[in-house]
Amino acid sequence: EDVNRELKRRQSGYGRGARMKIEQDKAGIFSGVRFGKTLGSPIGLLIKNKDWKNWKEIISAKKLSTLNSQLSTALTSPRPGHADLAGAIKYDFDDIRNVLERASARETAAKVAIGAICKKFLKEFKINFCSYVIRIGGVADKKIKPLIDKAKKKGDSLGGIFEVTAVNLPIGLGSYIQSDLRLDGRLASALMSIPGIKGVEIGAGFEAAGKFGSEVQDEIFYQKEKGFYRKTNRAGGLEGGMTNGEPLILRAAMKPISTLRKPLHSVDLISKKPTVAAKERADVCAVPAAAVIGEAVIAFEIAKAFREKFGGDSLEEVKRNYESYQKYVMGR
């Protein structure tokens, strides 16, 4: 139920495409769970594509009978902004469908399913996640839907910015001792791995670059009943690659969807003649969905960092380790 609830959230949001009317994602668990509890063995999830039956021939693993039938299914007009051209050149393809199927954001359904499991684990420690869309294009709030309608009518697409927040994180997840252990780098990488994401900021982010240090750093205070705390959170909950006990705040900028109903200029891979980019089924705006995916990938990285810090062979052992550490922190 937890996994399917998150999958449903991913499919929501104004501006989604026709595929959302076809697919109603539900994950089946086929290993690693018994009677509602994980066993410690790998968890296997399966999300079926209802639309698969309509594409069996076009993306068949079997060799087609004639060269003509192969050519008839080929896409040779790469889309600006997509993986099409670079992928076709890199892997020596004459058909960009070999690229676009794997480069598609469809794979993020699996990320959301895995993220749901990570969220459930972290909820045992009262760590919770949320996200929201800050703006679409250059507008916010009630102006968003009319702008999406305008883009749809024009055959265009829209991007935007979303924010992901996590609360009740302990001090000290991540590390400063090696660059690959810095949690801010891992979280930024996770968000940048989502198709279409072009920028990430933490806390005050780029705004901090235009201010004095005295206006940016979060002063430190102490109360016996609270321990160390801050009155501001411009660092976004991360200092020196580690969580500092304040809420984690990250924002990501998503570019407009690459596939347009009114396609842009392109060049045919085979003939090298001018053409227009290929048209595939696509969303007008997927920023709300990207926010849910953002939650999932952040939850995955936080869960990894949490296990690195408090790891054990059972949930109860992890809880004992966590509670012991929290007592130590409050006693400092």
Q: Parallel, antiparallel, or unpaired for β 27-31 and 274-276?
A: unpaired
Rounded CA separation 332/327 (Å) = 9
pLDDT above 70: residue 250: yes
pLDDT at position 89: 98
Give mean pLDDT, residues 170-199. 97
Q: Parallel, antiparallel, or unpaired for β 238-239 and 242-244?
A: antiparallel
Q: In the chain, which ranges are E strands?
A: 27-31, 33-34, 37-38, 44-47, 128-136, 160-167, 171-174, 197-202, 220-223, 227-230, 238-239, 242-244, 248-254, 265-267, 274-276
Q: Write out the two tokens for 202.
A: 């933490």
Domain ranges for the chain: 74-331
Is residue 209 exposed (0-12), middle (13-18) or buried (19+ Cβ within 10 Å)? exposed
Give mean pLDDT, residues 285-311. 97
74-331, superfamily in CATH? Chorismate synthase AroC (3.60.150.10)
pLDDT at position 62: 76
β-strand partners of 129: 166
**What integer best gives the mean pLDDT of the chain?**
92
Give mean pLDDT, residues 295-308. 98
pLDDT at position 72: 59
Question: Global pTM?
Answer: 0.92
pLDDT at position 303: 98
pLDDT at position 19: 59
Q: What tens digit of pLDDT does each residue of 139-169 get?
A: 998 899 999 999 999 999 999 999 999 999 9
pLDDT above 70: residue 189: yes
User: 3-class DSSP state for residue 85?
Assistant: helix
pLDDT above 70: residue 4: yes
pLDDT above 70: residue 20: no
7 to each of 20, 25, 99, how far by Cα in Å?
Answer: 11, 6, 25
Rounded CA separation 14/281 (Å) = 16
Burial 126-151 (b: 16+ CB within 10 A, else e): ebebebebebbbeeeeeebeebbeeb
Is residue 198 exposed (0-12), middle (13-18) or buried (19+ Cβ within 10 Å)? exposed
pLDDT at position 64: 67
Reported as a pLDDT band with limits 50, 70 and 90, residue 208 is very high
Q: For a pLDDT cut of 90, what percent of the chain falls above it?
A: 79
pLDDT above 80: residue 216: yes
Q: How many helical (H) and strand (E) elements, i.e. helices and strands, does the chain have?
A: 11, 15
Reported as a pLDDT band with limits 50, 70 and 90, residue 96 is very high
Cβ-contact 174, 181 below 8 angstroms? yes
pLDDT at position 178: 96
pLDDT at position 313: 94
More confident position, 199 or 20 = 199
Rounded CA separation 246/236 (Å) = 7
Q: Up-side HSE of residue 5: CA atoms within 13 Å toward CB?
A: 6
pLDDT above 60: residue 70: no
pLDDT above 60: residue 67: no
